[in-house]
């Protein structure tokens, strides 16, 4: 079925999300690989917002991003079903690829990772350091993904998706940590790439903090999730973001759109200029290095700060993997 013809029918239930037992089981499995990450109320941020603002630091995982939790859980379930897997192939802009490399090393599987030409040199180096074979192909993530699909089919290898419910289950472990550590949040802001992060937020919110509202965040220069959410169907959109590479997706999975429609209040689009402002603010007030997509939740909340005064707000810092020259330019005021 062509992606443009996949519709989410209003009124129908969204796909089932992981339950508490499966999330806790995943957390126990992950504990040695990805210890729980901290969440803080940074005083300067709280003062700037006039609100109790919690930051969940997924930039503190072994690969510097929330994706560290995702593929290891996916591989555990995959190998239980299909123990004869000979190797894996995937496509990425970086953090998903590092997660594949980390999990492939854990399970002793050879991994080939496709990235678009001009991808982050430091993310590429990190993936190679994890033992993955890196192939540069195409001008954007979608072209890399299509080549990865061809490679997997040609060589009989397993194609690791960017979105899958077992990936959502792994990612939901950090949201379970967050909601348990910071109960009764009024709202959380969640960056959207292919959808695993926001679907995981929905799963954990429904279980542990049902009154918390979820606001999605996408790049204004990669608005596929916002357009799909508004249309309640998969809508492809062009990508031109320079800073928000973790959100640089042309097309999302229909299942993730269905879950967003059922669970998310709305989606905010943030510009690269707003991401740069957020990266600078987070560095200045917390001395954390945060990549563009990792700063998206802060950027969206900052734009809406007047409506957040006096509330309990949750922001996820989803990653810190930004190339040094890019971050130097951001800190120097370049946009």
pLDDT value at position 93? Answer: 84
Longest Cα–Cα distance in the chain: 56
DSSP state for residue 134 in the 8-state scheme: E
pLDDT value at position 141? Answer: 82
pLDDT value at position 67? Answer: 96
Write out the CATH class of domain 19-66+165-331.
Answer: alpha beta
* Tokens at 214, concatenated: 């979820």
DSSP state for residue 250 in the 8-state scheme: S
pLDDT value at position 181? Answer: 97
- 79: closest CA among 103, 101, 99? 103
Range(s) for CATH 3.40.50.1100 in the chain?
Answer: 19-66+165-331, 68-159
Cα 249 off chain centre by: 11
Enter the pTM of the model: 0.93
Separation of first and last alpha carbons in the chain: 39
pLDDT tens across 298-330, in order? 999 999 999 999 999 999 999 999 999 999 999
- 249: closest CA among 123, 130, 95? 95
pLDDT value at position 21? Answer: 98
pLDDT value at position 94? Answer: 82
The CA distance from 68 to 59, in Å, is 10
Residues 294 and 191 sit within 8 Å (Cβ to Cβ): yes
Which stretches of 138-199 are assigned E, i.e. beta strand? 158-159, 187-191
Query: Per 3-state DSSP, what percentage of the chain is helix, strand, and coil (rounded to 5)?
Result: 50, 15, 35
pLDDT value at position 1? Answer: 28
* CATH no. of 68-159: 3.40.50.1100
Please, what are the averages of pLDDT over each run of 10 residues along the chain (335 residues)?
Answer: 37 77 98 97 98 98 97 97 95 92 97 93 94 94 92 96 95 98 96 96 98 98 97 94 91 95 98 98 98 97 98 98 95 77
pLDDT value at position 333? Answer: 86
């Amino acid at each position: 079925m062509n992606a443009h013809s996949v519709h989410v029918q209003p009124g129908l239930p969204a796909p089932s999300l992981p339950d508490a037992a499966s999330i806790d089981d995943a957390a126990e499995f992950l504990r040695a690989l990805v210890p729980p990450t901290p969440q803080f109320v940074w005083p300067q941020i709280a003062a700037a917002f006039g609100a109790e603002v919690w930051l969940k630091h997924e930039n503190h995982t072994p690969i510097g991003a929330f994706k560290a939790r995702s593929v290891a859980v996916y591989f555990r379930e995959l190998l239980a079903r299909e123990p004869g897997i000979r190797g894996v192939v995937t496509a990425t802009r970086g953090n998903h690829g590092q997660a594949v490399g980390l999990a492939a090393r854990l399970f002793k599987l050879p991994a080939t990772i496709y990235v678009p030409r001009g991808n982050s040199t430091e993310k590429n180096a990190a993936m190679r350091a994890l033992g993955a074979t890196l192939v540069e192909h195409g001008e954007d993530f979608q072209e890399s993904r299509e080549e990865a699909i061809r490679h997997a089919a040609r060589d009989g290898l397993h194609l690791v998706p960017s979105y899958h419910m077992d990936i959502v289950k792994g990612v939901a472990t950090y949201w379970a940590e967050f909601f348990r550590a910071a109960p009764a949040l009024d709202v959380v802001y969640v960056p959207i790439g292919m959808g695993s992060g926001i679907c995981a937020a929905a799963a954990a919110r429904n279980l542990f903090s049902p009154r918390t509202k979820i606001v999605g965040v996408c790049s204004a220069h990669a608005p596929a999730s916002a357009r799909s959410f508004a249309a309640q169907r998969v809508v492809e959109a062009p990508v031109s973001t320079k800073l928000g590479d973790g959100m640089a997706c042309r097309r999302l999975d229909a299942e993730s759109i269905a879950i967003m429609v059922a669970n998310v209040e709305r989606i905010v689009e943030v510009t690269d200029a707003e991401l740069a402002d957020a990266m600078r603010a987070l560095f200045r007030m917390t001395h954390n290095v945060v990549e563009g997509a990792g700063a998206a939740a802060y950027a969206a909340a900052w734009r809406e700060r007047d409506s957040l005064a006096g509330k309990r707000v949750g922001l996820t810092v989803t990653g810190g993997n930004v190339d040094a020259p890019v971050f130097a330019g951001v800190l120097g005021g370049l946009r």
